[in-house]
Structure 1
Amino acid sequence: MTMKFSKFNPQQLEQYLERINYAGHASGTGTGEPRLESLKTAVERDPLTALTELQRRHLGAIPWGNSALHYSTHHSISVHPTAVFEKLVLRAHDGYCMENTNLLYVVLRSLGYRVYPTGGRVSRAVGSGNQSDEGYISFNHMVLVVTIASHKYMVDVGFGRNSPTSPLPLQENILAPLLAPSEMSLIKTSLTEFVDETQKLWVYRTRSKPQKGWIPQYCFSEVEFLPEDFAMMNYFTSQSRTLWFTHQLACTRVLMDEDKGIKPVGIYILSGTEVKRVSGGETTVVATIAEETDRVEALARYFGMHFRPHEIEGIRGLPSQIRTS
């Protein structure tokens, strides 16, 4: 049976907009979805600006992370749109790329945007943390391609620390701010692994400062992927013991300054036994984690995530459990 990408109903869209703190105003028609009314008007007036706001509010409200693989009894992830909605919107939990970007995809489809998903290959430099590593791993990332006024944009809310913070035109070498002073851009090139060098892919890359070198984050094509493709990718990403997702817990959330027009100004990063705040190129440790209760409290304080007792107990015996002497 063929799987279908779905849409959200008006009530679900209103719940999503409440989750991302969309500050819309009712038009006075009394439909019961005041934020949705306001958003639809904004999309009609300027779809690119509306898309940028959605992307940034999503990043600022919904964390990127893999907590379900650790704080749960099932240690699994579903990319079914209903499961994603319940987890990220109703439970206010985190999600990795095929959850976060999947959620935004269904929202954009429901709003009438011309959008489709494609798959990405994360660079080995990102996967290993060694910037000298070359090449890319297998497909394990989700990217959206949105067309507005005949122009295509790459949109992504599921790449953790280096998630793009605005729609990026599918054009080479257009510089855009990421989290100041870092920048992002796209180039189109062949992969060193390819036999046929005439095949070109988009490469999303970032640099920490204008004077620093570019680091490739992931590559992608403009070929549309199907739900079945992401179901396969998700199974491997969430279950393979060769990937860090299954034996390390990580979480990030972008910090926004609404006084500056919903501008991304920093990010919280939970990794290992610390929570760090990165802003303006400076890194500050805001919490040190000595035991599981510390991490649970940090996830609540800095990421707005709350777990039930049986979910917390689910981490016992896993490599990611923080063990005290």
Structure 2
Amino acid sequence: MGSTDPPTSLTQVALDKADWPLFTKAQLLEYFERIDLPQSHLESIVLQDGLQAGTVEYGLPLLQAIVRHHSSRVTFDNLVLHYSAHKTVTLDPVALFERIVRQKRGGRCMEQNSFLAAVLRSIGYEVRSGGGRVSRAMSPYPEVRQHQSTTYDGWNHMLNLVRIGSEWHVVDVGMGSMGPNMVIPLRDGFETTSIAPRLIRLQLRPIAESYASAPAAGGEGRPGPPLLWCYDCCYRPSESSPADNVWTPVYCFTEAEFLPQDYEMMSWFTSTNPRSFFTRYVTCTKMLLDESEEHVVGNLTLFVDTIRKQVGATRSVEAECKTEEARVKALADVFGIVLTEDEVQGLPDDRKLQT
């Protein structure tokens, strides 16, 4: 039973920059080793002079490499909500450093992007954290996808915005296989290939769920529905007629800055509510790089009992875990996550795979 005594302090951003949770150079080197950052990037001038972090010439290439290597080495997973005795999530950067770097574990969007924000600020990047709503077209529940695919969840996603030159850029390593997993400029109409042939885009537009009506033609004084940044994917782009491309909404977000206390509430709901995807299903994803390690080309994903691989547009079933022992072994062999005996024993009986 938790204490009912009133708290002596509440979560907040430290008002003095000197008190921000930043990592030392030695800790950053540990992190770079964890994500196998190539030597060429370890020699970046940015790591000697943090003022260069905001430059297109030096800061952007290093940021792109960090995002690329982070997404391929740090798994997007919810294992702490299943394989643990406590089933609780921490967003404390110091605790996340221990878990992600030294214990070689992963996490969900708020764990991963909270940690990465602290890393980037420690290097010298200007980072602003924001919040998003995940599209119900991404729902694991077929009925929801069928009937509510044009609507969005509540605020349940975290991403970061990083200033490079005169532009902010979206940096998000917390959306698994459906995330950008690359640095993209916060630019209305921006479109690019992510994991070929998949296209991604950003549009500043209203979403369908708004009580505000569109302004009348030629009318003044009615601003219409609020605009949100919408991140969409096109899985099978048309080579002959781009206008025929079918775009699927992934999430929408706002430029408003979210605070640690916002994520504290968001994380608590998504990690405790029995209707949450994260509390119901075991999942783990890591992205795959090409041989040059310059491009993300696919992913390996465990969902409940099946490991699927996707490279480009090609999908395959890599393994089916028939027993709990097989799933634990797969987490170690495929994803590099070695669970302790206490963690394995912490999985509730109703979530264990049975023969």
State whether TM-score is above 0.5.
yes
Is 1:159 aligned with 2:168?
Answer: no
Q: Deviations over 1:60-115 (max 9, x none)?
A: 10000100011111111111111211111111112000011111111111111111
Q: Would the alpha carbon gap of residues 291 and 38 (structure 1) be closer, same or farther in structure 2, given more than 3 Å must change?
A: farther
**Cα distance in structure 1, aligned partners of 2:113 and 2:196:** 23
Structure possessing the higher radius of gyration over alpha carbons: 2
Q: Flag structure 2 segments of 5+ consecutive residues without an equivalent.
A: 1-8, 14-19, 213-223, 239-244
User: What is the rounded CA distance, in whole Å, between the counterparts of 1:250 and 1:123 in structure 2?
Assistant: 18
- In structure 1, the residue matched to 2:326 is 294
Question: Do 1:69 and 1:238's aligned partners in 2 also have CA atoms closer than 8 Å?
Answer: yes
Residue of structure 2 aligned with 1:185, choices 178, 201, 217: 201
Query: Which segments of structure 1 move beyond 3 Å, counting only runs of 4 or more?
Result: 35-39, 41-45
Provide the secondary structure at the position in 2 that maps to 1:105: helix
Instruction: With the length of structure 2 as denominator, give the TM-score of the two structures.
Output: 0.84
Structure 1 CA distance, aligned partners of 2:26 and 2:282? 32
- 1:247 aligns to 2:280 (yes or no): yes
Correspondence for 1:18: 33
Give the TM-score of the pair, scaled to structure 1. Answer: 0.91
Separation (CA, whole Å) in 1 of partners of 2:39 and 2:146: 42
Q: Which residue of 2 aligns with 1:314?
A: 346
Partner Cα distance (1:118, 1:233) in 2: 12
Contact 1:25 1:38 in 2 (8 A): no
- The answer to whether 1:7 aligns with 2:22 is yes
Q: 1:135 offset after TM fit, Å?
A: 1.0
Q: How many equivalent pairs are there?
A: 314
Q: Is the CA contact 1:24–1:39 (under 8 Å) kept in the aligned structure 2?
A: no
Matches within 5 A, 1:149-228: 149-196=165-212, 197-211=224-238, 212-228=245-261
Residues 277 and 284 of structure 1 are in contact (CA less than 8 Å); yes or no, is this contact kept in structure 2? yes
* Shift in alpha-carbon separation, 1:270–1:3, aligned structure 2, 3 A: same
Q: Would you say the 8 A contact 2:77–2:107 is kept in 1? A: yes
Flag the 1:147–1:39 CA change in 2: closer, same or farther, 3 A.
Answer: closer
| Counterpart secondary structure, 1:187 | strand
Contact 1:131 1:215 survives alignment (8 Å): no
Q: Is residue 57 of structure 2 the alignment partner of residue 48 of structure 1?
A: no
2:74 to 62, 65, 75: 62
> What residue number does 1:85 align with?
97
Picking from 266, 272, 286, the partner of 2:304 is 272
Gaps of 5+ in 1: 27-34
**Two-structure CA RMSD over aligned residues (Å):** 1.9
AA aligned opposite 1:208: Y
Identity rate, percent: 34
Task: State which of 98, 108, 118 in structure 2 corresponds to 1:96.
Answer: 108
Q: Which residue identity does 1:206 align to in structure 2? A: C
